[in-house]
Amino acid sequence: MRTDIDHLPAAKQRELERIVEVIFEEFCDAIGNATGPRKGARILKIVLFGSHARGDWVDAPLSANQYKSDYDIFIIVSQKELTDRAAYWAKAEERLIRAYTIEKTLRTPVNFIVHSLHEVNDGLAHGRVFFMEVAKDGIALYETDGSELATPKPKTPQQALTTAREYFEEHVASAAEQLEIYKFCMERRSWKKAAFNLHQAVEGLYQGLLLTLTFYAPHNHNIAFLRSLAEGLDRRLYGIWPEATRRERAMFQKLKEAYTKARYSRHYRISTEELAWLGERVEELGRVVHQVCSERIAELEAAAGK
């Protein structure tokens, strides 16, 4: 795995150094004086992947309402217990979000995924495209000795086709069902339930696309995070959520919050107009996801000789 980031501007190199510092500071604080199973808790690798690793990132200003690439960070830890996001990574995530949105010490948003070395090597052994691309194109910002990744074993063309079809049929169909439930809730004027099911439809669409294209999706209900990963795979997904105005950005945030607040908070409010606007956006997302996934399956069919 590469270790140089000389292709990046000096400012981005400094930002990545700071991101690694924050990750380590919060991880060390989270494990504290580890004993028992956590005694050997370690970060084995911190890997930059995606557009900033490949060199094709886009850095358009937000005011231009154009696609802007995030930093995609992959953290490999010594044991599965350490992948618990709430227990070990929530504060690091919070600090990195604050550094970008409030403190402005980072000019690029950060997304990170955490897996154990065993999970990564298992993904490589089963030919999951996402893990293979991280291993192939990723750049190690930090790594310990003895943490080499396993040799990837790509799926056969037929296996890849079968797997992609199964993911597409399961997750995209499930998202369509959630969208129908949203419409039913709208008819019943059950706004909170409509918002929650609309969130579930979006989550299902992004999960389905990631799984169909890369055979991997993180176990995460944060649709902003899933959206970032998906938009990095196909630019046609960008622009579905307009961001030209503060109101438009707030609408997506309200949908993002629906996963918990629409179910558990007495103070969550969303209007029928907002829900109707979001519903139209989700319909468009479904259309684009269906198109992108269908094209990918057609490519796999051709490769498999179907």
Q: What predicted TM-score, i.e. pTM, was given to this entire model?
A: 0.88
Structural domain includes residue 226: yes
pLDDT for 262 equals 94
Low-confidence ranges of the chain (pLDDT < 50): 63-64
Same-domain check for residues 174 and 133 = no
Question: Which CATH number covers residue 172?
Answer: 1.20.120.330
Q: Which residues contact 12 (CB under 8 A, 6 or more apart)?
A: 5, 52, 108
What is the pLDDT at residue 103? 95
Residue 68 is predicted with a pLDDT of 77
**Structural domain boundaries, residue 189:** 157-303
Do 187 and 165 fall into the same domain? yes
Alpha-carbon span 111 to 297, nearest angstrom: 28
Same domain, 196 and 254: yes
Q: Is residue 1 part of a domain?
A: no
The verdict on 161 and 288 lying in the same domain is yes
Q: Which pLDDT belongs to residue 113?
A: 96
Domains contained in the chain, number: 2
Q: Which residues contact 85 (CB under 8 A, 6 or more apart)?
A: 93, 114, 220
For residue 100, give both structure tokens: 């970008």
Last residue of a domain, one of 143, 173, 196: 143
Q: Which of 143, 174, 198 is the last residue of a domain?
A: 143
Over residues 254-295, the pLDDT tens digits come to 999 999 999 999 999 999 999 999 999 999 999 999 999 999
Q: Do residues 178 and 110 both lie within one domain?
A: no
Report if residue 4 sits inside a domain. Answer: no
pLDDT at 222 (0 to 100): 92
> 139-143 and 110-116: which strand pairing?
unpaired
> Tokens representing 77?
């830890």
